[in-house]
């Protein structure tokens, strides 16, 4: 029995052989050479039901026909078998140039040819105008392969015909179909957001019942939102995404909660690095934000903007052209957030810092308060390792009642205490260690014990 990757590779190989036969037949018919087929439609495509793997699953899930499958495989040829397009390098004897109707573009660094929309039209229709017009109307930005950016039509220069656009598979489609892996973009200037995860469990989240109720509403939207919009015919009335504002002191669980929502709804969570997004130069912030939303589109990612005041803060009073542009920028950001079809979470320490235009458009505004004494005791108990013991007379309940700290601060104190115990070559947590740890946390905020 072949493993899953081997089975996927075997089907891709059969699809590649079929595409090769289609391409060779198109060229034979076009140049009036002898061919055993009178049209490419006579060439039987591999039966996806007889195979398994991500490539086959994608074909079945999207109900791709033969033309769709030709388009899909054509886009992957530069990755799978670039020499297959060497046939398009031949020159027209009349012009001493490559045949215009073949399309294809040589890459800047890729030595082979990259297919264009023109290449697709040639393979599917040759020089039959009626067939060409049919496929021009069929393959557009609403086609199943293009509307979710699985394949991209990329014009190299403005003003050129659409048919000169390169047809390039997205990175996530390439990873999932060819490698059987889930694509996660690298954190960089081109994509200034970092994937964040947690090993902790849902039962380790300590929040008020009222806060948990609001968090569960977000989970319900993720699980049922699309079903509600489609089955109850609400999509034309409501935007598909969900926007939530988390506010409260640092360490109160805002990032942790976003992480858990992603973990338990099987969504990747990307934390946006606002230091790389916000720019003093006019237009640069919009460009940087566009990179994130375009990269996240149709991928069900959760976008988490920590310390969102820097990007979504209150509008300025208009005193000069820069202020006017800053307000236009806020309006642009608002539109991008509203148009995103996934979950966007904005996090801030103070709700008052967020622009009212944004706040009004949130589906939920959730306050993460300082934990009370009972919650702090649970946090202390949950955070310490089960392998540690407490010195005689140390009562966590008394610590919890006396010192008002957040869950994030408690985590830092537990880390400090555990290191102190280990440095003593034992597993005993001392009362003085906890007090010293709390003192260090208070000093960060300018407070004293």
Nearest Cα to 190, choosing from 281, 307, 273, 75? 273
Residue 449 lies in a domain: no
**Is there a single domain that holds both residue 131 and residue 46?**
yes
Q: How many domains does the chain have?
A: 3
Q: Which two tokens stand for residue 409?
A: 């601060």
Residue 187 lies in a domain: no
**Is there a single domain that holds both residue 203 and residue 124?**
no
**Is there a single domain that holds both residue 254 and residue 388?**
no
CATH number at residue 295: 3.40.50.300
Residue with tokens 């990873």: 175
CA–CA separation, 283 and 213 (whole Å): 39
**Is there a single domain that holds both residue 166 and residue 277?**
no
**Is there a single domain that holds both residue 150 and residue 272?**
no
Q: Which two tokens stand for residue 117?
A: 């929309």
Q: What is the DSSP string of 85-116?
A: GGGGGPEETTTTEE-GGG--EE-SS-SSEE-B
Residue with tokens 């060439």: 43
Cα 272 versus chain centre, distance:
11
pLDDT of residue 308: 83
Beta strands in 206-284 (DSSP E): 242-247, 269-272
Cα 9 versus chain centre, distance:
26
**Is there a single domain that holds both residue 206 and residue 323?**
yes
CA–CA separation, 430 and 420 (whole Å): 9
- Residue 279 half-sphere exposure toward CB, CA atoms < 13 A: 13
**Is there a single domain that holds both residue 75 and residue 143?**
yes
Q: Answer yes or no: are the C-beta atoms of 368 and 253 closer than 8 Å.
A: yes
**Cα angle: 249, vertex 380, 373; to 5 degrees:** 60
Domain boundary among 128, 150, 179: 179
pLDDT of residue 118: 95
Q: Which two tokens stand for residue 186?
A: 């690298």
Residue 188 lies in a domain: no
Q: Answer yes or no: are the C-beta atoms of 62 and 115 closer than 8 Å.
A: no
**Is there a single domain that holds both residue 292 and residue 198?**
yes
Domain boundary among 179, 209, 239: 179
**Is there a single domain that holds both residue 359 and residue 387?**
no
Nearest Cα to 293, choosing from 317, 277, 316? 277
Q: Which two tokens stand for residue 129?
A: 């105008």
Residue 201: partners with Cβ closer than 8 Å, 6 or more residues away: none
Residue with tokens 């290449």: 119
Q: Which two tokens stand for residue 267?
A: 């969504």
pTM for this model (two decimals): 0.76
Nearest Cα to 218, choosing from 239, 243, 237? 243
CA–CA separation, 18 and 27 (whole Å): 15
**Is there a single domain that holds both residue 363 and residue 256?**
yes
Parallel, antiparallel, or unpaired for β 151-154 and 242-247?
Answer: unpaired
Residue 399 lies in a domain: yes
Q: What are phi and psi of 154, to 5 degrees?
A: -115, 110
Residue 186 lies in a domain: no
**Is there a single domain that holds both residue 358 and residue 378?**
no
**Is there a single domain that holds both residue 317 and residue 432?**
no
Q: Which two tokens stand for residue 302?
A: 């959760």
For 261, other C-beta atoms within 10 Å of its C-beta total: 23
Q: Which two tokens stand for residue 143?
A: 């086609």
pLDDT of residue 329: 62
CA–CA separation, 39 and 124 (whole Å): 10
CATH number at residue 380: 1.10.8.60
Q: What are phi and psi of 348, to 5 degrees?
A: -150, 155
pLDDT of residue 315: 53
pLDDT of residue 320: 47
Residue 243 lies in a domain: yes
CA–CA separation, 398 and 416 (whole Å): 19
Q: Look at the alpha carbons of 75, 77, 82, 87 in this order and tell me if their dihedral is positive or negative.
A: negative
b vs e for 146-185, b when ≥16 Cβ sit within 10 Å of the residue's Cβ? beebbbbbeeeeeeeeebebbbbbbebbbbbbbebeeeeb
Domain boundary among 338, 367, 396: 367
Nearest Cα to 311, choosing from 341, 334, 338, 340? 334
Q: Answer yes or no: are the C-beta atoms of 252 and 406 closer than 8 Å.
A: yes
Segments of the chain with pLDDT less than 70: 1-2, 280-282, 313-330
Residue 184 lies in a domain: no
Nearest Cα to 381, choosing from 366, 392, 397? 397
Q: Which structural domain, as residue segments, surrounds residue 392?
A: 373-444
CA–CA separation, 200 and 198 (whole Å): 5
pLDDT in tens, 40-88: 999 999 999 888 889 999 999 999 999 999 999 999 999 999 999 999 9
Q: Is 394 exposed, middle or buried (0-12, 13-18, 19+ CB in 10 A)?
A: middle
CA–CA separation, 339 and 361 (whole Å): 12
């Amino acid at each position: 029995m072949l493993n899953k990757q081997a089975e996927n590779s075997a089907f891709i190989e059969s699809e590649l052989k079929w595409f090769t036969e289609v391409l060779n037949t198109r060229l034979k018919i076009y140049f009036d050479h002898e061919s055993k087929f009178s049209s490419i439609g006579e060439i039987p495509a591999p039966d996806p039901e007889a195979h398994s793997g991500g490539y086959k699953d994608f074909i079945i899930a999207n109900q791709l026909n033969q033309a769709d499958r030709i388009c899909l495989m054509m886009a992957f040829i530069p990755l799978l078998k670039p020499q297959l397009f060497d046939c398009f390098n031949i020159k027209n004897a009349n012009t001493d140039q490559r045949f215009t109707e073949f399309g294809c573009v040589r890459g800047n660094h890729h030595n082979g040819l990259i297919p264009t929309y023109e290449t697709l039209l040639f393979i599917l229709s040759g020089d039959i105008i009626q067939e060409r017009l049919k496929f021009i109307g069929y393959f557009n930005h609403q086609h199943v392969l293009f509307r979710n950016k699985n394949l991209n039509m990329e014009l190299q220069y403005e003003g050129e015909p659409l048919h000169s656009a390169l047809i390039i598979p997205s990175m996530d489609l390439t990873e999932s179909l060819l490698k059987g892996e889930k694509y996660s973009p690298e954190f960089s200037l081109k994509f200034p957001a970092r994937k964040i995860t947690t090993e902790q469990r849902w039962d380790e989240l300590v929040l008020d019942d009222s806060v948990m109720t609001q968090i569960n509403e977000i989970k319900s939207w993720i699980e049922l939102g699309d079903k509600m919009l489609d089955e109850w015919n609400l999509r034309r009335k409501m935007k598909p995404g969900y926007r939530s504002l988390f506010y409260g002191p640092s360490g109160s669980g805002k990032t942790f909660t976003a992480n858990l929502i992603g973990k338990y709804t099987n969504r990747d969570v990307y934390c946006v690095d606002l230091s790389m997004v916000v720019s003093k130069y006019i237009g640069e912030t919009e460009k940087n934000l566009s990179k994130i939303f375009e990269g996240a589109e149709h991928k069900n990612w959760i976008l988490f903007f920590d310390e969102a005041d820097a990007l979504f803060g209150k509008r300025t009073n208009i005193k000069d052209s820069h202020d006017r542009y800053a307000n236009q920028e806020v309006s642009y950001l608002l539109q991008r957030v509203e148009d995103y079809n996934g979950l966007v979470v904005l996090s801030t320490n103070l709700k008052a810092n967020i622009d009212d235009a944004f706040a009004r458009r949130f589906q939920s505004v959730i306050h993460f308060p300082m934990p009370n004494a009972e919650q702090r005791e649970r946090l202390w108990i949950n955070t310490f390792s089960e392998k540690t013991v407490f010195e005689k007379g140390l009562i966590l309940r008394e610590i919890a009642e006396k010192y008002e700290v957040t869950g994030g601060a408690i985590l830092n104190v537990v880390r400090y205490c555990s290191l102190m115990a280990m440095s003593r070559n034992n597993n005993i947590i001392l009362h003085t260690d906890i007090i010293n740890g709390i003192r260090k946390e208070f000093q960060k905020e300018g407070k004293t014990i």
